[in-house]
Structure 1
């Protein structure tokens, strides 16, 4: 469909095309020097010593969980309000998923108190999702685990929405707050390589584990052997192939260079949304915008999510906005409501209350003030205002 306002936009240009073509001309396409350079640049952006590129965030999460020691029978606590990959990656390792509730209508990130309340002797990791690009309260979870004497529980950050975002207190970037973090470079993310992801950590031991787990548990790589730095290898862990290729790494370095400006433009568009909604408040009675009125740190502004008035049929609103040429979406159907997760007990009253009201409006670095006004007018019309 030819949308007047698509859900998101991706900035790809001649620089990315030239970078990819240079890789092809080099004759080396698999993981090599460009992947290493991308890892170094991304680690510097996050502010950590280690970054490990992977072929997508889903397998990256699985590698991260395995690196912190998740094995069959362990419990992993996480929000249900996230993309299903957060849970799927844990279940594929044989772990038991334990869902925690969101904080409130204002803060759609997972509630630290509820996370801590669900920690048991079987808990091996907790996953904190920086929903919509806003940092979860990692410090509160870390302090709570320390108070419980549970330093053995790893904190995994799901940073799929948050490249360039900062912590709530401004002390560090997302990806440097927990034990290990997973970023996504899928085609609709703030920076993209089509498919791809990155794992970050401050810990040298986890960096070593991540590198083994993304490459068959092998002690040397094909690139090492190609350069004559090694002649053979051992396999010291049972692992998968999660390596990133050189073409994606080359594109990723260009995209990383665009990230700060793209995030700034996203923040500007969010400001236009808040202004437009305030100006039309009489036509938008009952509409609620989360992440307003408190300090959540520097956001990556991945999504602009609103909560529809209670009792409004969301599908009708989305259909009306589609007719107006505006693409919308839902982030996300809560994982505990999927058929594959009906065997997982979940009491999540706050998540269940917001789930039918969630609506994602278009947001991207190329949006104009006029497009924002069109979207908000279409939403007001759809609500009958």
Structure 2
């Protein structure tokens, strides 16, 4: 099966894990700190905080910014559910905002303006598929309203622009991301006080960690806030240090494959829309396409699967999921819903060859041809 995403793991990662096991120190030690410094340096930041997941990163950021009950946070519905969940974790209310268009499936500034109230305290910008929104536009929007900008950068590691939009950025190192630590995440914040609050809350609000106390004169510590258990362990940090060395090269390979896909699809499947037709900065995390209205997405999925090609969907809209639909009834986001009904994600990762990309597009073309014939037959029967 040609997978939508696939981690690249090998001998260097195994060696790094063995070194951690041989050291006898498994959590929150020198490797976590080294990984934090290396990841921050790649993004032009002074420091960062490594955590257990991107969900944890988002929760910690909202908590550290003092967002809570009675507050509202603008979020896209075209995202993984964790983006909205984190808002609920702090007792605030997620306010779902439509995307710009099928071509630009990023949260819309105009729609965000329409949904702002006196209770709005922040906006979470999701860098969908690895593509960045207009930074200056969003900074003007937030500055005029006194809002915090939080970047959900799960799809965009390795871009130096990430973490410069506003208060902070949250990253994911899940197994299907551009680089992985299996589970894991990180926070980049330019304000050192904000980063300190995140770091403190990561480990139960404790003033020192176990590794720090090992190397100090006293085992005493204090707890100065209500915190969480969102630490990263040494094994994940060790994998991350190896992966980080390859991230820029892997992102470049993703870019090359994405360019090839665009050329092949334009030639063989012109009815398919590929979002982000205008150039913009990206980490090329996934390859979303939008099928023509006459095509049955399930038929296309089934046809590609018979050819040994996995596909998936990014994303079922959060506002239409049972949990959120019951709590926030009546939400209508036409652009998001149209995009989500026709979006299909095809394989994109550094192990994709040009021949594999050509086979994916050939299978797409065949599936669409079958779909067009079916649609024509149905129209003829109806006539």
1:114 shift after superposition = 1.7
- 2:323 equivalent in structure 1: 340
Matched, 1:155 2:149: yes
Alignment of 1:3-14 (within 5 A): 3=1, 5-14=2-11
The one of 261, 270, 276 equivalent to 2:249 is 261
From the superposition, tell whether residues 203 and 230 of structure 1 become closer, same or farther in structure 2 (CA, over 3 Å): farther
> Is the 8 Å Cα contact of residues 48 and 189 (structure 2) preserved in structure 1?
yes
Q: Which moved more, 1:224-233 or 1:256-265?
A: 224-233
2:183 corresponds to = 195
Q: Secondary structure at the match of 1:128?
A: strand
| Higher Rg | 2
* Residue 71 (structure 1) shift: 0.9
- Aligned positions of 1:284-303 closer than 5 A: 284-292=269-277, 294-297=278-281, 299-303=282-286
Q: Once superposed, what is the RMSD of the aligned Cα atoms? A: 1.3
Q: Which residue of 1 aligns with 2:369?
A: 384
1:222 to 181, 197, 210: 210
Q: Distance in 2 between matches of 1:48 and 1:74?
A: 29
Matched, 1:232 2:226: no
* CA displacement 1:198-229 (0-9 Å, x = unmatched): 11010011111101111101111111101116
Question: Would you identify which runs of 4 or more consecutive aligned residues in structure 1 move more than 6 Å?
Answer: none
SS in 1 for 2:195: helix
- In the other structure, the counterpart of 1:77 is 74
Aligned length: 368
Segments of 5+ residues of structure 1 without an aligned counterpart are 166-171
Q: Contact (CA 8 Å) 1:81, 1:333: kept in 2 or not? A: yes
Q: Does structure 2 conserve the Cα–Cα contact (< 8 Å) formed by 1:106 and 1:291? A: yes
TM-score (norm 1): 0.93
Unaligned runs of 5+ in 2: 371-383
| SS of equivalent residue, structure 1 residue 50 | coil
Q: Give the Cα separation in 2 of the matches to 1:177 and 1:27.
A: 40
CA distance in 2, matches of 1:346, 1:68: 27
Cα-to-partner distance string for 1:292-348 (whole Å, 9 max, x where unaligned)? 1x2312x11000000000142211110111111110000000100100001225231
Q: What is residue 49 of structure 1 aligned with on the other side?
A: 46
Superposition pairs of residues 323-338 of structure 1, within 5 angstroms: 323-338=306-321
Residue-by-residue CA offset, 1:232-268 (whole Å, 9 max, x unaligned): 1111111110000001001101101110000011111
Deviation at 1:178, TM superposition (A): 2.1
Q: Secondary structure at the match of 1:125?
A: strand
- Quick one: which of 346, 351, 361 aligns to 2:336? 351
Question: Retained in 1: the 8 A contact 2:142–2:149?
Answer: no
For normalisation by structure 2, the TM-score amounts to: 0.93
Aligned residue number for residue 307 of structure 1:
290
Confirm or deny: 8 A CA contact 2:40 2:188 kept in the other structure: yes
Once the two structures are TM-superposed, the CA of residue 278 in structure 1 deviates from its matched residue by 2.3
C-alpha separation in 2, matches of 1:204 and 1:233:
22
